[in-house]
A and B are shown apart, each in its own frame.
Chain A
Amino acid sequence: MTVILVSSDNQDFKVDKEVAERSILIKNMLEDVGESDSPIPLPNVTAAVLTKVIEYCEHHRNDPVQVPEETDDPRKRSNDIEEWDMKFMQVDQEMLFEIILAANYLDIKPLLDVGCKTVANIIKGKTPEEIRKAFNIVNDFTPEEEAQIKKENEWAEDR
């Protein structure tokens, strides 16, 4: 059974229901809508991003659906991204963030995890200034604040 997803720029995407239901948001919508064939609008996701998202869901369509686990699940470590996922995530930063936002909106936890791990991997090994440069973050601390926060977090340097 296929469903139709409509991106913010009015592009239609036909996907299998099983694939679409990797997104919990879509899954819930489909349950609410019932057997109707009407397309599902996704106003927060553009076509380019939706393409990527669908690609991910297709590839992982057979993965076991993750149940919400306790806080101490092992997903949170950055060193275990699959190879396919790593290649999949080799996009420019903007697309990376878009994917993360889309995964967040569509409630696709594995994709969100992979996205965040990718960002975490970019952050790894960088000093605060380098992080700012990498992500175009503006430093809006005053020098005193900056020094103070640095001091507060100094202990983390060797942990």
Chain B
Amino acid sequence: MDPDRKEKLPDRQASSAFFSEQSRVGMNADRTDDDVSVKAKNDVKDIESKSKASKDHSDSGDTEGLGRKKITLGDMPAETLIHIGLTLPCREFGRFLQTNRTIHSCLNSHYVWHQRFTTRFGQTVLEDKLNSPNSNNPSKLSPPLTPRGLSQYNNHLDPVSAPSSPLPSAASSPRLNPSLPHTPPPNPSDDGSESDGNGNNGNGEGSSSSHAKRAPKGKGRRIDLRRTNMAPKEMLIDMYKQMSRLTLPAEDMMIAHMGNQFWRMIASGESRYGRLAELASVWWMDVVAVFYGVPPGRYKVQWRVKVTSDAPIVNTEFRAVLFDKHEDLNTVEEKPNTLTFKPTSKQEFIEQTDSQGGRVNKRPFRNLFKGFTTLELPGELLVEDDYRGVFVQIRNHDAWKSGLYIDYVRLVNVDEPEQRKESLVYGFHGQRVAAGNEPVDDEGEEYYPSTSSSSASSAGLLPWLQQVCGINPHTRTDPRPQFRSRAGRQFNPVQPSALLDVGARSVPVPNSTSTPVGGSTSSSQGGQGQSRKAVDEEGQPVERPDACLPL
């Protein structure tokens, strides 16, 4: 080799320079040889002979002794490289693939991806995916499997939807079928055409009923390895990509009664995914998302939602369940909760979100009802020893509710420093104080601007600004006691008459299941119902600046 090459090498120990030289030689010689394993066998001999040859030319000596071959990672036999590659976590594996050709060709193989996939997600999901009719279109990325119980929705339909939806039978709906993956309909415009009222969604067809009858047996379910071994590499990689996500957008969740009438998917710039699930109105509220192959660690579950009324959050259960790769997905839903959160009041809900506390939000309820908030379930999921699945659910099966937008759900690994910051409890936002204990520091001026601001009918920018920003120049230092604790307010409904002197806003009646979202206008003084917008004296809605809200 020409001595010039050596000089261009970065400054290292002489022996290192020598051996990288040598390994380059080794690889060049073998580049014509496609078969890595053959190369591997010849490796050791080649290196040995070349090392002797190069040594004669080089000044730098082999500090380890004459004639000994020095091995680099690239010279390891394929099986060893594969073994190392299988040990690497996902990110490092991707990076390792980028290092050089030998490693890439060795590790980017069908075998390795198959192994990685089954180690992480198990054979069960692989078989299920292959059994789905969409398997002949491997490039189509399907959302994760539905674990819904077969009989759960069979006879129980939303009482309103039953007569109105043209649904042939619940069993044939692919989303309800445990053996079939939940897929979005093939047509690109899926704004509501994917309701379960449409039955098959281009997915179930004839095979769904036969699948519906075959009940998976549970842990002892036998996998047809011939099938699972035949999954092509590209399909495996695609599925791996889809299923290894730790953030699931709304469109990849299983939302009961998603369609047009009750829930719908809407385009929105407020989501980084461009779409939100919007709850118009529903009785049986049931949202499920499944994470597969979650690596060991401790996780917090976060939902990013926009809540515009009490009903979807009060007495709603937010839960998470861990399950093993081999577990029968049908039974997961019935498993005992790993984490659960069921707020009995708006206050309780808010305590677990980032809508409260901190210097910015003086009107947390208002923020909750205006923009997106992140709900973090109390407690942590502990995934240990092995990859596991996480089943998360929002459910509330009583009473009508409306006014909920879902952006995504995610798992935050609090063991990883970069992710830990995202957690509400551990991260930056987490200067949240436990609510209820914290004295209200806005001088009671949340919903109720003082009388004097109502006298700000004198036109001018300043009074308007003050009202909008909640600044009351006439506040007494002693806030009125009944406004000190928000928690107190929940349990003692304030009589409208008490509000007569405090301006135009009304108290949301606790636990009201509100009227459906329909862009309600501002309410007048002493009125019932939800008031979402501030009003000025003329009763015109005033836009609140949401500068403090990260949307």
Interface positions of A (Cβ within 8 A of B)? 44, 46, 71-72, 74, 76-79, 94, 97-98, 100-101, 104, 112-113, 116-117, 119-120, 123-128, 131-132, 135-141, 146, 149-150, 153-159
State in angstroms the CA–CA spacing of A101 and B245 once bound together: 35
User: Which stretch, B82-90, B373-381, B488-496, B522-530, touches the partner chain A?
Assistant: B82-90
Asked if B70 and A104 sit within 8 Å, CB to CB, the answer is no
Nearest 8 pairs of A and B residues by beta carbon: A156-B94, A153-B94, A135-B73, A128-B98, A159-B90, A120-B87, A159-B244, A97-B71
Besides the known contacts A116-B83, A124-B89, 4 further A-B residue pairs in the complex with CB atoms under 8 A apart = A123-B84, A135-B72, A138-B20, A153-B95
Taking a contact as CB atoms under 8 Å apart, the answer to whether B83 and A112 are in contact is yes
Q: How far apart sit A37 and B42, CA to CA, in the bound complex (Å)?
A: 33
Cα of A138 to Cα of B21 in the assembled complex, Å: 9
Chain B residues in the interface with A (C-beta under 8 A):
16, 19-20, 23-24, 27, 31, 44, 64, 68, 70-77, 79-80, 83-84, 86-104, 115, 118-119, 122-123, 241, 244-246, 296, 325, 385-386
In the bound complex, residues from chain A placing their C-beta under 8 Å from that of B72 are 97, 135-137
Cβ distance A122 to chain B, nearest Cβ, rounded Å: 9
Question: What DSSP secondary structure best describes chain B's contact surface?
Answer: helix
Across the interface, B296 reaches (CB within 8 A) one of A72, A77, A136, A159, namely: A77
Closest chain A CB from B113 CB (angstroms): 12
Instruction: For A79, list chain B residues within 8 Å (CB).
Output: 296
Q: How far is the CB of B23 from chain A (nearest CB, A)?
A: 6
Which B residues are in CB contact (< 8 Å) with A74? 385-386
Which of B84, B100, B104 lies in contact with A138, CB distance below 8 A?
B100
Q: Chain B residues with Cβ under 8 A from A97's Cβ? A: 71-73, 75-76
Report the bound CA distance from A127 to B123 in whole Å.
31
A153 contacts B122, CB within 8 Å? no
A131 and B80 within 8 A (CB): no
B88 to chain A: closest CB distance in Å?
5
Contact check, B80 vs A149: say whether CB atoms are below 8 A apart. no
Nearest opposing residue in chain A for B19, CB measure: A136
Contacts A94-B64, A156-B91; is A123 near B16 (CB within 8 Å)?
A: no
From B73, B90, B241, B386, contact of A137 by CB (8 A): B73
Distance in angstroms between the alpha carbons of A5 and B115 in the assembled complex: 35
Say whether A139 contacts B86, CB under 8 Å.
no
